[in-house]
Homo-oligomer: A and B are copies of this chain.
Amino acid sequence: MNKSPEVPQPSKELLQRAADVRIASIALGQTTDGQRRTALNSMADALNAWSKEIVSANLEDLDRAADEGLARALLSRLKLDENKLMEAIDGMRKVALLSDPLGIRQMNRELDKDLILERRTVPLGVLGVIFEARPDAVMQIAALAIRSGNGAILKGGSEASNTNKTIMKALKEGLSDSEVNPHSLALLTTRQESLALLRLDGLVDLIIPRGSNELVRFIQDNTRIPVLGHADGICHLYVDSAADLAQALRIAIDSKTQYPAACNAIETLLLHKDIASSFLNSAIPLFEQAGVALLGDEMSCTFGIKDVAKEEDWATEYLDLKLSVRVVSGLETALEHIRRYGSRHTEAIVTSDEKVAERFLSAVDSSGVYHNCSTRFADGFRYGFGAEVGISTQTLPPRGPVGLEGLVTYRYFLRGRGHVVSDFASGKSKFSHQDRPL
């Protein structure tokens, strides 16, 4: 990688810490389901025992951040009071209850008599997680990592450093009462270290950035390690001519306003020309009431939208109460628009025409394609995964909301009785390739 000059070489100390996590993670990968469950409950117990220290460390961070003039939204994310902490502890116990993603047999094939190929899920190894502000992320990520048998090197925002350090102390204390080596988790505290983390290929198997687009892009551009995540979330809702108008309105309002700062909120509404006028007639006052600013193309402006959308609007993730609206001549134009401006996150169609719906669902290559429902369902909890590390808009798996299953890989196990390839090359032996029950 032709890394930025600003990405330093890892220090000897960092290399040693990462190697410690790696070695601990190999032992962790061999623990049983029950041992990992116990480890999570033990971490939860320790957090509970340390709750006063954690809350007061957080108050220190909050005081300092307020002095330094941190924005109010960030202060609220930084805050970890008794309630939020108890919720996080509860979340950790819930992750303990999720079913084990490890050891799942995906293949069981006889290649020849007594030569058996198995493929089973195993942990990735070590996760590198870089996140901003929210200290509850430390607990959530630690829970997901240990549950899936992975070590984790975490780097949180400096605003939360007292909180994070205290949480990590408690987590390690919890692990030391379990069969899982406390070295399975490490917290980095300096910016230099978090940058050097990007160079730990061979020691870190997956980088998970949780933060702004800029953070994700910077990381993608500066590491050889695979990066899980998404930069943009530009989601579209297409209202077809055969849409049930009331349904389309409900879905449009929910997709935009239920939580506009989420990546699965829509940024663009595409309207079939035959329904645009009547839809906007009802929609404009509803959006106005919800505080949503509408930006329209020429045609939708003739139907009452006042502000004109510029070219760059179609490619912008507002993350705000703002929505671009375009009238299209039909499905194909809508598909072309999505292909051009979409970020392959989640797109939805509202229509009563099953054929049109199926064409949309098969032609749009986003990680989620929806029919007659809100894009806001694109979420690990709503999908029933119990917990998520984030949403990936990459093409290769894991994509979409990523839960425990996305934190594992697989390994091929081949067991023989002295089998060699030369016997197959000479024709003495022949492959049977018989699948056996999983």
* Interface residues of A, Cβ cutoff 8 Å to B: 1-4, 22-23, 26, 29-30, 109, 111, 115, 117, 122, 124-125, 205-206, 220-222, 224, 226, 244, 246-247, 250-251, 253-255, 258-259, 339, 357, 361-363, 365-374, 376-378, 382-384, 394-397, 399-400, 409-422, 424-425, 431, 433
Contact = CB atoms under 8 A, between A and B. Distances in A.
Given A206-B395, A414-B370, A422 B258 contact: yes
Contacts of A418: 244, 246-247, 250-251, 372-373
A108 to B, nearest CB: 12
Contacts of A396: 124, 205-206, 226, 396, 409
Contacts of A254: 420-422
A412 B383 contact: yes
Contact of A2 (B4, B22, B253, B412): B4
A378 B421 CA distance: 10
Contacts of A400: 411-412
- Judged by DSSP, the binding face of A is mixed
A2 to B, nearest CB: 5
A420 B367 contact: no
A181 to B, nearest CB: 14
Given A1-B221, A414-B368, A431-B382, A409 B397 contact: yes
A23 B338 CA distance: 12
B250 A420 contact: yes
Interface centre among A29, A115, A362, A412 (most CB of B within 10 A): A412
Contacts of A206: 395-396
Contact of A433 (B125, B250, B357, B384): B384
Nearest to A381: B431
Given A124-B395, A421-B376, A366 B411 contact: yes
Contacts of A424: 382
Contacts of A382: 111, 421, 424, 431
A1 B220 contact: yes
A226 B394 contact: yes
B395 A409 contact: yes
Nearest to A410: B397
Given A226-B226, A397-B410, 20 more contacts: A1-B2, A2-B4, A26-B363, A29-B362, A30-B362, A246-B418, A259-B421, A367-B411, A367-B412, A368-B412, A368-B413, A369-B412, A370-B414, A373-B416, A376-B420, A396-B396, A397-B397, A399-B409, A399-B411, A400-B411
Nearest 3 A/B pairs, CB to CB: A373-B416, A254-B420, A384-B433
A238 to B, nearest CB: 15
Contacts of A221: 1-2, 224
Contacts of A109: 383-384
A335 to B, nearest CB: 8
Given A124-B395, A396-B226, A431 B384 contact: yes
A378 to B, nearest CB: 8
A317 to B, nearest CB: 15
A291 to B, nearest CB: 15
Given A4-B2, A220-B1, A222-B2, A420 B251 contact: yes
A321 to B, nearest CB: 15
A419 B26 contact: no
Contacts of A4: 2
B409 A377 contact: no
Contacts of A378: 412
Contacts of A226: 226, 394-396
A374 B412 contact: no
Nearest to A257: B422
Given A1-B220, A367-B411, A383 B421 contact: no
Given A418-B247, A420-B258, A368 B3 contact: no
A431 B385 CA distance: 12
Nearest to A425: B258
A80 B188 CA distance: 55
A356 B159 CA distance: 48
